[in-house]
Amino acid sequence: MSNHVQTGSLGYPRIGEQREWKKALESFWAGKTDEKTLTDTMEELRLEQLRRQQAKGLEFVPVNDFTYYDHILDTAVMFGIVPARYGHEGGAVSLATYFAMARGSSNAVASEMTKWFNTNYHYIVPEIGDSQPYLAENKPLAAYRSAKERAGIEGRPVIVGLYTFLKLSKGFASSAFAEKVEQFLPVYGQVLQELKQEGVQWVQIDEPALVQDTTPEQLALVERIYAELRRQVPGLRILVQTYFEAVEHFERVAALPVDAIGLDFVHDRGQHLEALERHGWPQDKLLAAGIIDGRNVWRSDLDAKLELAGRLSAYVPAGQLILQPSSSLLHVPVTVDREDKLGPEIKNALAFADQKLDELALLARAIREGQDAVASELAASREALESFRLLPERNRTDVAERLAGIDQVGDTRNLPFAERFEVQQQKWQLPLLPTTTIGSFPQTKEVRQARQQWRKGSLDDAAYEAFVNKEIESCIRLQEEIGIDVLVHGEFERTDMVEFFGEKLAGFFFTANGWVQSYGSRCVKPPVIYADVAFVDPMTVKESAYAQSLSSRPVKGMLTGPVTILNWSFVRDDMSREQVTNQIALALRHEVEALESAGIEMIQVDEPAVREGLPLKGRDHEAYLNWAVRSFRIATSTVRDTTQIHTHMCYCEFHDMIESIRDMDADVISIETSRSHGELISHFELQGYDHGIGLGVYDIHSPRVPGVGEMTDMIDRALHALDARLFWINPDCGLKTRGWSETEQSLRNMVEAALAARERLQTAPAK
């Protein structure tokens, strides 16, 4: 193996070791700090993150991966892509307009938000329309200058590639894609020219869309883009970086007229190595090999990584290999160092962002100096992995036996939906267009403090239960007074919709500071599935039954579905994701049955993350959706015909999986449509939907209170496409992150819009 190897990072967590980024943003939004304080705080945090990476000995430190909200939004405003509703009149985009696009304002709804490929991160969707791009501000140049002048770091600016940016955008016909490429190319060229003039040596252009289905015609456009950029900036060294999967058309991607190609050797299922062995590697090009998993939290098998690096060096000329994470480290927490409450077997098996960069440094040292130079470190790594592998909770025979018989587990309701619908109508006697919410209600400071006191032991179980019950009763009374038809208990006992269940199932552990960004300032602390998952005791029955005892109206039991628990957790990597999901489904089946036995006969099993786990290539969709749908049915199929199963999904593109959603056979699905401005309705206008459905009529991720007319328009359009007997009215997601005042007013407006629509339907002349 050649000992000439370099190391680099593709991006680093933005949020700070103690979520300083989140706190600075939310303080500014709340009016507690001014814009200068925000920008000063953000700059210091950005520089601190760069210094941390520099200290790891990286040859390539990324700059411009830091953002105030989202890197795709940054790219849009850099090119002046601002929808007209925000009133932008050209020039640099103000911070107020930037945040209005992300969060909405009193005058304009927020831009659409959706999943970043198959991750748990959300990006703001650019609305290009007829906008003419211009360089409003060269953000990569500003980031490069700051890093060099203030930290002495020769950074590698990161830019979202033109092909990927347009693939992720909306507001133009697919037939106009090539035209948009030509509109944007000069502006991209201007960005690169200014970087070259500044003395920038390398630029990282991220093109993750190249791992999706890519036609030869689309790839020809990519070739056109990079041929033109090479013509405009000869001499500037360009890395085209891909991640999350194997690229389509390996030979043509490897031949792009750039200086380096970045490939994922972790999530490619071995395809890149096979392609290298089949086609070789261009002798004039660097290979940036993602060999450390940038999306999961486990320590690497360093022996296996050294073997992989050796195989790569057989095809890549000496000095032409860069070792790096498989993707940006945005998707993992910052450091394991603060996880003092974990046992040594578990803590030693973990690697967060800082530890992954340490692994890169260790691998590089082993290659440069020989493995004897790092023998003790390699031995310690082997010992940690072996101790973890042998934990008894990772080797449960009872769970293994149940999993072995999964093919024989029933997954079908007793009656088909059309017949269940009639018996459920007789049982529940709900009005036309019933109203409900998605589950959670505002989590106030008092709620969070009480939970924290209880966890610390300063509030005993009885006092905490009394506090939660009081919150539940207030929530039930408010919903009754507003006039909501199907109630929820508010979920005041829950921190997070996945963490709550992970704490009560076997097979999970929890970090103290393992936070990652989900969207904007919203950070989550994913559970870690490290062992066999199994049911222990009822998890939600007590609170749900108490809520139902307070009202004659139905109260939904609220669960998180198996695929969402999987996709919103860090998952063990020694077992297939399908197998882990089936373990979770079998455990949730016990909880569904326990709720029904306790008299809770509307049960919502949320699956917002089904779509985000969809493989990036179309040929892999069917297999994934088959087992994902079946896991939901395993969890929910044993209930009585009159028991109504609900589910919920949000913030993804659903038009291409409506049949799979139908196959889940939930009696009612609530699905987001407000943030995407009702675009999903167009699909139903063409194809309809024959199960119960609620299309979210307002966006809960924006602080604005939508008017009755706004919701009425959404309802009326939906009713042109959907059977009114099957239609429900609800917000598009849970209300946990909102304040009580805006929540109450929004729900009152929603019920008013529903009542008006109900009256119009009931008084309309028969057709």
- Active-site residues, by number, are 701
Say if residue 365 is exposed, middle or buried (CB neighbours under 10 Å; 0-12, 13-18, 19+). Answer: middle
Is position 56 annotated in a ligand binding site?
no
Say if residue 170 is exposed, middle or buried (CB neighbours under 10 Å; 0-12, 13-18, 19+). Answer: middle
Amino acid symbol at 701: H
CA torsion sign for 94, 99, 101, 104 is negative
Q: How far from 60 is each of 16, 71, 359, 543, 593, CA to CA, in Å? A: 20, 19, 15, 52, 54
Q: How far from 3 is each of 302, 356, 364, 373, 512, CA to CA, in Å? A: 17, 20, 8, 13, 39
Amino acid symbol at 58: L
Is position 672 annotated in a ligand binding site?
yes
Tokens of 619: 């040929």
Is position 760 annotated in a ligand binding site?
no
Is position 733 annotated in a ligand binding site?
yes
Is position 494 annotated in a ligand binding site?
no
Is position 20 annotated in a ligand binding site?
yes
CA 71 – CA 110 distance, rounded (Å): 16
Backbone phi, then psi, for 582, in 5-degree steps?
Answer: -65, -35
Across the chain, how many H-helices and E-strands are there? Answer: 27, 21
Residue pair 488/558 in contact by the 8 Å Cβ criterion: yes
Is position 438 annotated in a ligand binding site?
yes
CA 230 – CA 734 distance, rounded (Å): 48
DSSP 563-587: HHHHHTSEE-SSS-HHHHHHHHHHH
Is position 491 annotated in a ligand binding site?
yes
3-state secondary structure of 541: helix
Q: How far from 448 is each of 439, 452, 517, CA to CA, in Å? A: 17, 6, 20
State the distance between the two ends of the chain, measured CA to CA, in whole angstroms.
78
Residue pair 299/385 in contact by the 8 Å Cβ criterion: yes
Identify the CA nearest to 593 among candidates 630, 554, 639, 552. 639
Identify the CA nearest to 397 among candidates 581, 502, 532. 532
Say if residue 318 is exposed, middle or buried (CB neighbours under 10 Å; 0-12, 13-18, 19+). Answer: exposed
CA 129 – CA 246 distance, rounded (Å): 31
Is position 440 annotated in a ligand binding site?
yes
Is position 655 annotated in a ligand binding site?
no
Residue pair 353/333 in contact by the 8 Å Cβ criterion: yes
Residue pair 63/43 in contact by the 8 Å Cβ criterion: no
Tokens of 411: 């997954």
Is position 648 annotated in a ligand binding site?
yes
Residue pair 584/533 in contact by the 8 Å Cβ criterion: yes
Say if residue 35 is exposed, middle or buried (CB neighbours under 10 Å; 0-12, 13-18, 19+). Answer: exposed
Q: Which residues belong to the annotated binding site for L-methionine?
A: 438-440, 491, 606
User: Which residues are part of a known binding site for 5-methyltetrahydropteroyltri-L-glutamate?
Assistant: 19-22, 115, 522-523, 568, 612
Residue set of the binding site for Zn(2+): 648, 650, 672, 733
* Bind-site residues: 19-22, 115, 438-440, 491, 522-523, 568, 606, 612, 648, 650, 672, 733
